[in-house]
Structure 1
Amino acid sequence: MSLVEQVADVFMPAGPLARQIPAFKARVQQTEMAERIADAITADAACLVEAGTGTGKTFAYLVPAMLSGGKVVLSTGTKTLQDQLFERDIPTVREALGAPIRVALLKGRSNYVCLHHLERAHSEGRFLQKEDARHITNILRFSKMTKRGDKAECTDVPESASVWHMATSTKDNCLGSECAKYEECFVVKARREALEADLVVVNHHLFFADVALKEEGMAELLPNCNTVIFDEAHQLPETAGIFFGQRFSTTQLLDLAQDVRLSALAEARDCLDLPVQSAALDKAAKDFRLTLGNDTVRQPASQMLKHAEFLKGLDALAERLDLMTSLLETQAGRSPDLERAWQRAVALGQDLQRWKKGALGQPAVTDPDAEATPGDYVYWVETLGHGLHLHATPLSVAEPFTKLMASSPRSWVFTSATLAVQGDFGHYKEAMGLHDIASYCWDSPFDYGTQAMLCCPTDLPDPNSPEYTERLVDKALPLILAAQGRTFFLCTSLRAMQKVRTQLETRLAFHQPEITVLCQGDAAKNELLRRFRETGNAVLVGSQSFWEGVDVPGDALSLVVIDKLPFAAPDDPVLSARIDALNRQGKNAFMHYQLPHAVINVKQGAGRLIRSERDQGVLVIGDPRLVTKAYGKKVWRSLPPMARTRDIAEAETFLIQTLKDHVA
């Protein structure tokens, strides 16, 4: 029996999944998707699959993957989805199939307790606050009880706790096989398990980080792997761009300076220059960050290099790093930590010089195997909190990704609810270099015509006008009241988000004070979602973090408001450079690049509303360009076939009836 035939049998109404899962319902879309993925696996081919919400795409790729008999790497968009697959979905399918396959979960090294750094932090006891000391004690206790060492399992210490950086390692400060704890290392154990497993669950960041850096994870897994499946594949172009590029940050230098200080105290007390030089490097990194003030900056390098203070700080930082490197070379033989610190300093110095040369348009590639030239990259500068980051981002990831796919024959599956624009995969194929491969599109099985209504209100001003946000909140207020909260208000910028929050708090305090307003940034994302679900009458105001990967099925969510079409800011340095490159090729950058991006983002935001067959609700897209501009039709037609209206009163009636049905 062929793999396609085996897969078809599994999804039959009386098949293994139906016997294992009481609520299982055979869907034509799900079965067809699973069969096409089975085709790709059998032929060592690639395929693109867009499957609407409710298709059941997770089971549709897990079944052929488990029945294929080969080694599969499954990469997800987030660690949350990674955990869900490993702990819930994969065990369910494996039990239904009776498949004796070995499954491993592999995360980036910073997700695992590092026994070496934990022990050193505990023994040194140099903490800024009492809470850190308590957290380290809890992590130490956890490290002696856990099998996997995954910090997500350490419930006594929040994942956001700052002390975790003292109890985990990075690619920079990991000692590798030189570490005294190497055989006990949780990262080493996780990677060994991954090598022995039939199905390995990773996330996109780990996949590309290890491929780009040629570390031990994917670099060892891929050669032995028969199939790679990317879920939430719409995130790949951006994620790949990060890791196929180059990065340097002052945060790396601050971490190096701190590690040198600790090593000097433990292993080189007689070298008085080490703490002096580490303090000087720390100061130079902070001074360089201060050359850009406290503002959030995302600027092309060409602009930043015109500022004398920035250039002066850059040169001072390079000089101070050279001095530290020379000193560490004389002390490297005294311990593995000092040896690793010297290697880090050398690498950081090379990264800094490479970035500067590239930003100045000089030949900067030192890798003899590399073919990239400065013109292939966008050089830009960014401030994030207390760090200053120097980036070199590739204009396109198509070429390096195509080379990765060609490295050896295997099947590649790319799936998401949002890959195409009106059924056309051209934009995605070009971004990833996926030419001449099979592509399939299945609509959601949900009855959007009766379950949902799309409203684009009349009489709203231009989205760029100062009064736009306030007017939109006024338009949405009757719907929020009709839904009794139960609303996601999704904004395209943090500034708009704060404005919406203020406006809503003022209006709801007067009209319906029992409705709670939650806002991104008030607490961790998962905590906000928990409050939203439990409150039952809340409005959650968020920006990009809540446009995707958020699942609130049932009565808790009845209204989604999107403030504007999510076009990326044209002054973003990477976007600006890509637009220029497309224009030079004679292409219309807006229609070719910016609009498809916006369509996919709108589809993600809209997808928050209907998550199950019994969900009902209203989607509001405030932006009048949806109906007044010709390109708005492309967005309009890419959305699910909901009932459509421009009348707020009609949408309000729909919501009231929806609530009545749910209560009944």
Structure 2
Amino acid sequence: MDQDDSTAPFAPLVTELFTDEGPLARAIDGFKPRAAQADMATAVGQALQDKVPLVVEAGTGTGKTYAYLAPVLAAGTRVVLSTGSRNLQEQLFHRDLPTLVKAMNYHHPVALLKGRANYLCLERLNLLSDSVPPLSAEGLADLQRVRRFVPMTHSGDIGDIPGLAERSEVLPLVTSTNDNCLGRDCGHYQDCYLVKARAKAMEAQVVVVNHHLFFADMAVRDTGFGQLIPDADAYILDEAHQLPEIAGQYFGQSQSSRQFLELARDLRLAYKVEAKDMAQLGKAADQLERHAQDLRLAFGHDSSRGQLRPLLARTEVAQALARLNESLEFSYEVLKLALGRGEQLDHCFERLVGLRTQLDSVTRVEEDGYSYWYDCTRLHISFHKTPLSVAERFSAELAKDNVSWVFTSATLAVGDSFAHFCTDLGLSECRTLQLDSPFDYSRQSRLCVPRYLPETHAAGRGRWLADSLADTLDAVPGGSFFLCTSYKVMNEVAEVLRIRLQRTVLVQGEDNKVRLLERFSQDGRAVLVATSSFWEGIDVRGNALQCVVIDKLPFSAPDDPLLSARLEDCRRRGEDGFARVQLPKAIITLKQGVGRLIRDVQDKGVLVITDGRLVNRAYGADFINSLPAMPRTRSLQQVAEFLSTLE
């Protein structure tokens, strides 16, 4: 990795943007120049010019969003901005980007592009008018919401539909998938919201996407059948710590029993609309649905995940898979007779051919370099073929001529080393920059690892922790997060806290994420008990969040199939799997959780990590060295004394 201190000609212009008298200070209320922000902006400007990939860890409060946006707008470069989630994507597009566009008098077109599941499909909605599948009363009400929304929308974004639940049963019926989209054969192609959004993105100078769409585009390009996002002069990837894991999903293959059930449902609809005289189509749909459900049941009633190879060797699983293949063969022969009867039937045939090929690929488990695993939920079973490394494929992308790459996040380094991140993405040559947070953690925070903690896998540990920390949580003037590494501990903690505390206790899963955060912030003294989805991408400032409890160091579960495959791969190559894979990932995840506490220069609060390994294992120092410099204590009494100063 290269460290290059040369100053690009573009640097003075970038620096000017972040001065007391610059355009940002003139246009943005309360804007204050930050040295780290200007340093990052200068480095981004240089990367845009010399095309050397840039990796930046920008501590919380650096202002990294403006630091990469301002140079991009100033350079007039065509750029794709990718971030970690749809919520962050919308925040970037609707809040941060318009502020800078106005401040810098930027006149080029900008666009927001999401994945296809975020847009209404007029063709599928129109089909429901003719033959609605059985829906609950709530589902029928949601369908009416969707229909009332159509005349009022220009974007077709389902997130804009008032009152529609995130997991409404009508969503799969009114949106399309890669499998069931008719493409240019669709009668509504000219009016398609997704087509319009992609066309707008292709014409824009700045396009905001998320990582899932970014890698879906790379996967589509690999097939040689088009692209989802435009080519650009520069790619800036925020929340870049997520990239290796998301890339693995798209550079591999996945297949779910849900796809077979959806095909069966659409085949049934096509039969009723386009070929009512072919009763065999209905029989084929019923058989396909039944055998897909039987395959799910062959894996047991409980949710689980694990290595696929040993499961395929079980008689009941092998037989269920054979029956599914037989039903696919039967559907193939019947659909072949129906070709030409209608667009929906023709498209079902094409999907069926693709699903057969895919099922064969994800269940042929002999190929090296991949992890073959399954994920079983209450209703569905999915098979996954995931590459153990994405470095080779991604490094090929980095080799493109005349393209700039910027990778940034608050959590990329382990200690002061970027080796883990760069190796995972195949970044053999790059410039790195590590910028500390401007927050005064010695004044604003305390870190406590309490004494006398139970073992990390002790039975009833969640109840013990909640009981022992109830008084500490009660002493917090504002609100608290209790972040857990498992749903079991989360539920144990919530059960005890609701008995012990005379304040609101909110629990992940009891409402959607956005509403939970709104209730938490408005309450001001609530305790939110949650798992992984609240460890990152959450920004609660002020007194509403003054305490974060983390139940234990976030090592991946040892029975995680992808982890176990990577550890086995390390063993074969003579590497230490713990040091190479498990430890760096856990450190970066912990840094994300810790980053929820202090979000502003005025924030104050305490971090409590209830895992003794942080102080009594050698690797604990690796975690500590990667965290902000918070004054440390092992006494909950000292924590209470600090909390008393926050009144």
Residue aligning to 1:146 = 153
Q: 1:70: how far off?
A: 2.0
Q: 1:219: how far off?
A: 5.3
CA contact (8 A) 1:489 1:562 kept: yes
Aligned pairs for 1:582-597 (under 5 A) are: 582-597=570-585
Q: Give me the whole-angstrom Cα distance separating, in 1, the residues matched to 2:18 and 2:127.
A: 53
Deviations 1:106-151 (A, max 9, x none): 0011100111111111332334223323322321221222111111
Deviations 1:488-523 (A, max 9, x none): 000011111111111222322xxxx2x111111111
Q: Pick from 534, 542, 546: which aligns with 1:546?
A: 534
Counting aligned pairs with the same residue, the percent is 44
**Which stretches of structure 1, 4 residues or more, deviate above 4 A after TM superposition?**
215-219
Residue aligning to 2:245 = 238
Residue aligning to 1:4 = 11
CA contact (8 A) 1:298 1:382 kept: yes
Q: 1:223 to 1:473 in 2, by over 3 A?
A: closer
Residue aligning to 1:523 = 511
Residue aligning to 1:48 = 55
Q: Give me the whole-angstrom Cα distance separating, in 1, the residues matched to 2:571 and 2:223.
A: 40
Q: Give me the whole-angstrom Cα distance separating, in 1, the residues matched to 2:46 and 2:378.
A: 48
Aligned pairs for 1:448-527 (under 5 A) are: 448-484=441-477, 486-508=479-501, 513=502, 515-527=503-515
Q: Give me the whole-angstrom Cα distance separating, in 1, the residues matched to 2:52 and 2:347.
A: 42
Q: Pick from 187, 211, 219: which aligns with 1:212?
A: 219
Residue aligning to 1:413 = 406
CA contact (8 A) 2:119 2:158 kept: yes
Q: Give me the whole-angstrom Cα distance separating, in 2, the residues matched to 1:156 and 1:222.
A: 30
Is 2:189 aligned against 1:185? no
Q: Pick from 26, 39, 52: which aligns with 1:32?
A: 39
Is 2:80 aligned against 1:80? no
1:6 counterpart letter in structure 2? L
Q: Give me the whole-angstrom Cα distance separating, in 2, the residues matched to 1:133 and 1:566.
A: 42
Deviations 1:336-379 (A, max 9, x none): 2111111100000001111222x1x1xxxxxxxxxxxx101111
Q: CA RMSD in A?
A: 1.6
TM value normalised by structure 2? 0.97
Q: 1:126 to 1:301 in 2, by over 3 A?
A: closer
Residue aligning to 2:105 = 98
- The unaligned stretches of length 5 or more in structure 2 are 1-7
Aligned pairs for 1:372-387 (under 5 A) are: 374-387=367-380
What secondary structure does 2:554 align onto? coil
Q: Give me the whole-angstrom Cα distance separating, in 1, the residues matched to 2:48 and 2:466.
A: 49
Residue aligning to 2:633 = 645
Q: Give me the whole-angstrom Cα distance separating, in 2, the residues matched to 1:134 and 1:217.
A: 41
Q: Give me the whole-angstrom Cα distance separating, in 2, the residues matched to 1:355 and 1:452.
A: 49
Q: 1:555: how far off?
A: 0.9
Q: Give me the whole-angstrom Cα distance separating, in 1, the residues matched to 2:312 and 2:606.
A: 49
Q: Give me the whole-angstrom Cα distance separating, in 2, the residues matched to 1:346 and 1:476.
A: 57
Q: 1:3: how far off?
A: 2.6
Is 2:76 aligned against 1:69? yes
CA contact (8 A) 2:124 2:176 kept: yes
CA contact (8 A) 1:3 1:67 kept: no
Residue aligning to 2:550 = 562
Q: Give me the whole-angstrom Cα distance separating, in 2, the residues matched to 1:167 and 1:302.
A: 36
Deviations 1:543-598 (A, max 9, x none): 10110011110111110000000000111111001001112211111111111111
Q: 1:27: how far off?
A: 0.1
CA contact (8 A) 1:8 1:31 kept: yes
1:503 counterpart letter in structure 2? V
Q: 1:470: how far off?
A: 3.4
Q: Give me the whole-angstrom Cα distance separating, in 2, the residues matched to 1:548 and 1:223.
A: 29
Q: Give me the whole-angstrom Cα distance separating, in 2, the residues matched to 1:218 and 1:422.
A: 42
Q: 1:637: how far off?
A: 1.2
Q: Give me the whole-angstrom Cα distance separating, in 2, the residues matched to 1:223 and 1:151.
A: 23
1:447 counterpart letter in structure 2? D
Q: Give me the whole-angstrom Cα distance separating, in 2, the residues matched to 1:470 and 1:616.
A: 27
Residue aligning to 1:537 = 525
CA contact (8 A) 2:217 2:227 kept: no
Q: 1:615 to 1:218 in 2, by over 3 A?
A: farther
2:131 counterpart letter in structure 1? E
What secondary structure does 2:543 align onto? coil
Q: Give me the whole-angstrom Cα distance separating, in 1, the residues matched to 2:123 and 2:455.
A: 57
2:49 counterpart letter in structure 1? T
Residue aligning to 1:320 = 327
Q: 1:242: how far off?
A: 0.6
Q: Give me the whole-angstrom Cα distance separating, in 1, the residues matched to 2:545 and 2:225.
A: 39
Is 2:360 aligned against 1:353? yes
CA contact (8 A) 1:55 1:444 kept: yes
Q: 1:101: how far off?
A: 1.6
Q: Give me the whole-angstrom Cα distance separating, in 1, the residues matched to 2:331 and 2:267.
A: 10
Q: Pick from 176, 186, 191: which aligns with 1:169?
A: 176
CA contact (8 A) 2:253 2:385 kept: yes
Q: Pick from 371, 376, 384: which aligns with 1:391?
A: 384
Q: 1:215: how far off?
A: 8.9
Q: Pick from 264, 284, 291: which aligns with 1:257?
A: 264
Q: 1:332: how far off?
A: 2.5
Residue aligning to 2:4 = none
Q: Give me the whole-angstrom Cα distance separating, in 2, the residues matched to 1:463 and 1:241.
A: 30
Aligned pairs for 1:331-342 (under 5 A) are: 331-342=338-349
Q: 1:606: how far off?
A: 0.4
Which shows bigger deviation, 480-489 or 44-53?
480-489
CA contact (8 A) 2:89 2:209 kept: yes
Residue aligning to 1:445 = 438
Q: Give me the whole-angstrom Cα distance separating, in 2, the residues matched to 1:203 and 1:537.
A: 33
Q: Pick from 111, 118, 127: which aligns with 1:120?
A: 127
Q: 1:219 to 1:616 in 2, by over 3 A?
A: farther
- The unaligned stretches of length 5 or more in structure 1 are 362-373
CA contact (8 A) 2:412 2:421 kept: yes
CA contact (8 A) 1:122 1:136 kept: no
Is 2:117 aligned against 1:110? yes
Aligned residues: 640
Is 2:305 aligned against 1:330? no
Q: 1:159: how far off?
A: 3.0
CA contact (8 A) 2:450 2:634 kept: yes
What secondary structure does 1:483 align onto? coil
1:491 counterpart letter in structure 2? C
Residue aligning to 2:396 = 403
